[in-house]
């Protein structure tokens, strides 16, 4: 499917197209081929067993729910169709996992800016938000400990915990906007390119080839 060095934006588009096309076209065999290929790719990229297990469990549950509403609780029972729509859940997750396992957030942001010419504000805003997540996780942990030290036990559904977490997030977001500006970022201003994200003919060939295969599969296979 996607190859290790494929351009991140094309990879992203490919994932999007696969997911979209397979949500409109009923082709259980294509779904299974995509899932198997994606799983093979994830194993080739040495996905952590724990991550794979968690993913299988979560999507498995979702797939079962979809299947039961599409078959068991449906008035017009159609096993093939029910299997198709439930396997789509796996298609979405597995192809997205292929994208995230082989692309860092930085590569993706750069590629969106350079290859798809999205506004840099969008690319770096998203990136910065992603970089806040580990900070937020640490903050929530610390807030809980700080509470216990004052005899306040904050459970995971405690409003105080969320109030504090939102305060931290708001403060971080404000500092971040100022931080970007203080490091020379201006909205809409031209930027140079220091780390290039190449978009080669090979990328395009791979992309077109994959789309062709997908369409052949989706329309010819049952």
Partner 1 sequence: MQAELTINHLTFSYGDREVIRDLSLTLPAGTFSLLIGPTGCGKSTLLKIMAGLYPKYGGQLTSGQIDLGGRSQAMMFQEAGEQFTMATPREEIIFAMENLGKDKEEFAHRLQKASEFAEINSLLDQKIVTMSGGEKQRVALAVLVAMDVDLFLLDEPFASVDPAARRFLIGRLAKLKEQGKTIIITDHLFDNYQGKVDGVYRFKGEQVDLLTKDEQALLLDTEPIDLHFPLPENEPAAFVMKNFAIKQGRPLIEQKELSIPKGKVTLITGPNGSGKSSLFKAMTKLLDYQGSLTWESKEVAKLKERAYFQHVAQIFQNASDQFMAITVKEELALSKKHASPYFTPEVLGQALADLDLADHMDQVVYSLSGGQKKKLQILLMLLSGQEVLLIDEPLSGLDQKSIEQVVSLLKKCQEKSGQTILLISHQFYGINTWCDYHLRLASRELAFVQD
Segment lying near partner 1 (by CB under 8 A), choices 27-35, 60-68, 85-93, 172-180: 172-180
Give the number of other CB atoms < 10 A from CB of residue 23: 12
- Shortest separation between residue 95's beta carbon and partner 1, angstroms: 25
Q: Does 123 bind partner 1 (CB under 8 A)?
A: no
Alpha carbons 45 and 51: distance in angstroms, whole number: 12
Number of Cβ within 10 Å of residue 220's Cβ equals 10
Question: Pick from 198, 8, 205, 204: which is nearest to 102 by CA?
Answer: 8
Distance CA 60, CA 1 (A): 22
Instruction: Name the token pair of 85.
Output: 């729509």
By CB under 8 A, residue 151 contacts partner 1:
yes
Pairwise CA distance, residues 46 & 188, whole Å: 39
Structure tokens at 108: 């993706």
| 133-155 core/surface letters (b: 16 or more CB in 10 A; e: else) | eeeeeebbeebbeebeeeeeebe
Nearest distance, CB of residue 125 and partner 1, angstroms: 9
Q: How far is the CB of 108 from partner 1 (least distance, A)?
A: 13
Give the binding-site size for partner 1 (rule: CB under 8 A): 47
- Residue 127 binding partner 1, by CB under 8 A: yes
Q: Which CB sits closer to partner 1, 16 or 148?
A: 148
Measured from the CB of residue 161, what is the shortest distance to partner 1 in angstroms? 10
Report the residue number, 182 or 201, with the smaller CB distance to partner 1: 182
Binding site for partner 1 (CB under 8 A): 105-106, 124, 127-128, 131, 134-135, 138-139, 141-143, 145-153, 160, 164, 167, 171-172, 174-186, 189-195
């Amino acid at each position: 499917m996607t190859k290790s060095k494929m351009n991140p934006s094309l990879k992203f588009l490919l994932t999007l197209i696969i997911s979209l096309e397979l949500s409109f076209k009923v082709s259980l065999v294509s779904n299974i081929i995509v899932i198997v290929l994606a799983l093979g790719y994830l194993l080739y990229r040495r996905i952590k067993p724990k991550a794979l297990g968690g993913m299988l469990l979560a999507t498995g549950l979702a797939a079962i729910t979809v299947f039961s509403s599409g078959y068991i609780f449906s008035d017009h029972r159609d096993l093939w169709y029910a299997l198709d729509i439930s396997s789509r859940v796996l298609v979405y997750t597995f192809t997205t996992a292929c994208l995230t396992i082989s692309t860092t957030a930085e590569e993706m942001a750069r590629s969106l800016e350079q290859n798809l010419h999205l506004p840099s504000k969008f690319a770096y805003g998203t990136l910065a938000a992603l970089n806040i997540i580990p900070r937020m996780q640490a903050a929530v942990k610390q807030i809980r400990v700080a509470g216990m030290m004052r005899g306040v036990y904050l459970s995971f559904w405690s409003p105080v915990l969320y109030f504090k977490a939102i305060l931290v997030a708001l403060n971080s977001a404000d500092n971040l906007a100022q931080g970007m500006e203080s490091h020379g970022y201006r909205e809409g201003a031209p930027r140079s390119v220091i780390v290039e994200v190449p978009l080669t003919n090979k990328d395009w060939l791979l992309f077109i080839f994959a789309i062709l295969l997908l369409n052949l599969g989706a329309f010819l296979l049952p």
